[in-house]
Structure 1
Amino acid sequence: MGYLNDRILDLGLTVLTTEATRLDICHTEPATYAQATGTYSLGHKAGLSVGAPAARTPSGRKVTVAAFEDGTVTGTSTSSATDAEFWAITDTVNSRLLAAGPLTTAQYMTADNTFRIAAFDIWLAGLDG
């Protein structure tokens, strides 16, 4: 079995803590900054709060993205194919997509409303095998 010091995992996760500035909700999983903040975005929340790296059970390390209730909806779903199904975290200072993943449940969006996100974890595992 191998060994990987927590510091190795923490340094990767610290990028989210120190550089993440915005969370977008998207109808398609983005692979680029432009898709996350423009093409696929249905709304966003600036001033994102991401906690410091911490232990994850049963192994690995994690950061927690804080819950919020004041995201701004900028687009309207036109069918189930355009509901918000993914989140994307970006570094707007350097125009970088940092992380993306699925929402717990798809959400129908209507422009000029607000959206909320429950707190969630982003994690890295240690070595396998």
Structure 2
Amino acid sequence: MPYLNDRVLDLGLNVLDAEADKIAVCNAEPATFTAANATNALGSKAFSVGGAFGSPAARSGGRKVTSTAISDGSITTTGTASHWAGLDTVNSRLLVAQALTATQPVTASNVFTLGAMDVSLLGPA
């Protein structure tokens, strides 16, 4: 049976825990930092460095980190949010991007909320 120590998975997830400092909502799946932070960005919530995600934890069949829930994100551009992105603004890195469960129209100068979201790595199959 294959085996992969939790530490191997955690080291990949630790980047989100230690470096992510912003979560953005976007109108399309961003492929670059610039897309997530500007081109496709509709709004965001800034955190202290490493404050956007928690520490690695167990999940069924692997490991995960969970984002901080957002209740006061700022919408800067009117559009339809379809994705979210975790960013490391210190190093200009897009760390993770994922589709929202459902698209949502948003209006500039309004507030957005997002529940906590998991980012997972699976162990060996």
- TM-score relative to the length of structure 1: 0.92
Given candidates 73, 76, 98, the residue that maps to 1:74 is: 76
Report the identity percentage.
52
The match for 1:80 is none
* Per-residue deviation, 1:104: 1.2
Give the distance between the partners of 2:68 and 2:30, measured in 1 at CA: 21
What amino acid maps onto 1:114 in structure 2? V
Given candidates 104, 111, 118, the residue that maps to 1:114 is: 111
Task: Give the ranges of 4+ consecutive aligned residues of structure 1 lying more than 2 Å apart after TM superposition.
Answer: none
Unaligned segments of structure 1, at least 5 residues: 78-82
Q: Aligned residues, how many?
A: 122
The match for 1:50 is 53
Give the distance between the partners of 2:92 and 2:17, measured in 1 at CA: 16
Q: Over aligned residues, Cα RMSD in angstroms? A: 0.8
- TM-score relative to the length of structure 2: 0.95
Unaligned segments of structure 2, at least 5 residues: none
What amino acid maps onto 2:120 in structure 1? W
What amino acid maps onto 1:115 in structure 2? F
* Per-residue deviation, 1:84: 0.3
